[in-house]
Amino acid sequence: MTPHDPKQEILTRTPEMESVMRAATLVAQTNVTVLITGESGTGKERIGHLVHAESRRNKGPWVPVNCAALQDNLAESELFGHVRGAFTGATDAHQGRVRASSGGTLFLDEVGELSLPLQAKLLRLLENSECQVVGQAQPVRVDIRIVAATNVDLAQRVREGLFREDLFYRLNIAPLTLPPLRDRPRDIPLLMDHFLLEAAARFERKPPRFTSKALQQIQNHRWPGNIRELLNFCTRMVIYHGGEEVDLPALPVELRGTVPEVASGSPFDLPSQGVDLTAVERGLIKQALERATGNKSKAARLLGLTRDTLLYRLKKHTLD
């Protein structure tokens, strides 16, 4: 293996994550479309890159695209390209991400954020391997593989009319679902050691040492931002406490307030007459926003959600 082998970049001791990696390696040997799902920060792009690296396309380009960052008025051109003069300001032709992926893999992150018109063009690309360049009558044949990723429930978006059902089934041929970090407790110390040593080397400092109480609190934290949040935490600890012993008071406030989850049982009792689950969810979101004085990141933490998931549910309940 080379030092840049994607398998070596995914650290895990968790059977569920090891199973995902095995499945990714298997599906890589085919040319089918892959849909990677999981909360924000769980490592979807790393798994996508593993699929590319283990495939016969690994000598071709790996082209990642954040669909949520595409500007509405330029998204079609950015993906599919345009000819010179196709629209005002198009003084030069643009190849687009799709044709730039020829012979390789196009990674569509946050694919659920694509507009319905772009979804239609993506469906044509998947069905016919044809790229419709803006301002050009004839489509262009392309040879690419698509790996898509999302942190939202696409099936729910289909039911809400926000995502095409036919595109969903085209994307969902080989699904890979990543577990959140809170479901990978054995991986937290492994990832922490790696991130702390990496940050210590970068900033030329010694890594901090954690007391048993601090480590227990870190282990109990829900990590709503998943691996990305853990990486940021480790970087912060090296910057502020490099070479020091870290106890509970030195932990960030969001970790100090963590309460360990109850091993069994539920804090809620279901009434015999049942509940309106939609109304309950809406009410809890409103309470969390009030308690957080409108701060969406804090409200998301109170609900045990990622900020992206909260934003989606705000939209769903028309609370935004």
Each residue's pLDDT expressed in tens, for the chain with a length of 320 residues: 344 567 778 999 999 999 999 999 999 999 999 999 999 999 999 999 999 999 999 999 999 999 998 887 788 888 887 777 667 666 677 778 999 999 999 999 999 999 999 999 999 999 999 888 877 778 889 999 999 999 999 999 999 999 999 999 999 999 999 999 999 999 999 999 999 999 999 999 999 999 999 999 999 999 999 999 999 999 999 999 999 999 999 999 889 864 444 444 455 566 666 667 787 888 888 888 888 878 787 788 788 776 767 877 888 888 87
Using alpha carbons, list the distances in angstroms from residue 42 to 160, 168, 206, 228, 266: 25, 21, 27, 7, 26
What's the Cα-to-Cα distance from 225 to each of 100, 134, 228, 309, 317, rounded to whole Å?
31, 37, 6, 11, 23
pLDDT tens column, 226-249? 999 999 999 999 999 999 999 999
| Domain layout of the chain by residue ranges | 6-179, 182-256, 277-316
Q: What is the pLDDT of residues 62-95, one digit of tens each?
A: 999 999 988 877 888 888 877 776 676 666 777 7
Q: What is the pLDDT of residue 2?
A: 42
Is 182-256's fold the same as 277-316's? Answer: no
Homologous superfamily assigned to 6-179: P-loop containing nucleotide triphosphate hydrolases (3.40.50.300)
What local confidence, expressed as pLDDT, does residue 268 receive?
59
- State which fold the 182-256 domain adopts: Helicase, Ruva Protein; domain 3 (1.10.8)
277-316 CATH fold: Arc Repressor Mutant, subunit A (1.10.10)
pLDDT the model gives residue 208: 97
Q: Would you state the pLDDT for residue 297?
A: 75
Q: From CA 95, how far away is CA 78, in angstroms rounded?
A: 8
Q: How far apart are CA 9 and CA 299, in angstroms?
A: 32
Instruction: Say which residue the tokens 């010694």 belong to.
Output: 206
- On whether the CB atoms of residues 273 and 236 are closer than 8 A, the answer is no
